[in-house]
Amino acid sequence: MDKYEFQIKTEQLEKLLEQREYKTAAKIADSIDWRKVHDVELLMEVAEVYENLERYEDSYEILNMAYDCSPIGRMIVYKMVEVAVKMGDFDEAVELYKNPMHPQLVCLPKLCSSFLEIQASRRSVPGMERSYMKHL
């Protein structure tokens, strides 16, 4: 894909995202090789498209690419934690949350509420409350 075609597709993608046409946006996103893209904002938008379609694994993969481009971006890590929770990968969510490279996450109140939601939605798992709440 040449630069011109890429630009047209990304512009279409952004318009569709604004209109909340996630299915059509995902079709465009699926046609692009995101490994070659280093625009963190665009990668975050693509991750949002996939997340809204409940394609959490795809969203998480794109977020990892964004993180590789900008490892100090706390919003990227925050979104990775959120998507990991939605995938049910609580260990990964806690690992990201505890990572000493991301001490700024403690300042995000919405993240704490995500862990409270984990606790509420998974009451049937013994010891989960203690396991996750001790990290808050």
At which residue do the structure tokens 């011109």 appear? 4
Find the mean pLDDT for residues 32-56. 94
Tell me the per-residue pLDDT of 3-43, one tens digit each, with 9 for 90 and over: 899 999 999 999 999 999 999 999 999 999 999 899 999 99
pTM: 0.74
Q: Quick one: which H or E segment has residue 32?
A: none
Distance of alpha carbon 56 from alpha carbon 80, whole angstroms: 10
CATH number, position 11:
1.25.40
| Number of Cβ atoms within 10 Å of the Cβ of 16 | 19
Q: How far apart, in whole angstroms, are the C-alpha atoms of residue 33 and residue 132?
A: 36
Which of residues 14, 44, 70 is at a domain's end? 70
Please, which residues have CB within 8 angstroms of residue 28's CB and are 6 or more apart in sequence?
A: 9, 12, 13, 16
pLDDT at residue 11 in the model: 94
Lowest mean pLDDT among 30-34, 104-108, 111-115: 104-108
Q: Residue 120: how many CA atoms within 13 Å on its side-chain side?
A: 6
Same domain flag for 61 and 87: no
CA proximity to 99, closest of 119, 130, 77: 77
> What is the span of the domain harbouring residue 119?
77-136
pLDDT band for 64, please (50, 70, 90 cuts): very high
**Which one of 70, 91, 123 terminates a domain?**
70
Mean pLDDT, rounded, for 51-71 = 93
Is residue 135 located within the same domain as residue 116?
yes
Of 21, 47, 70, the one marking the end of a domain is 70
What crossing angle do the helices spanning 74-87 and 56-69 adopt, rounded to 10°? 160
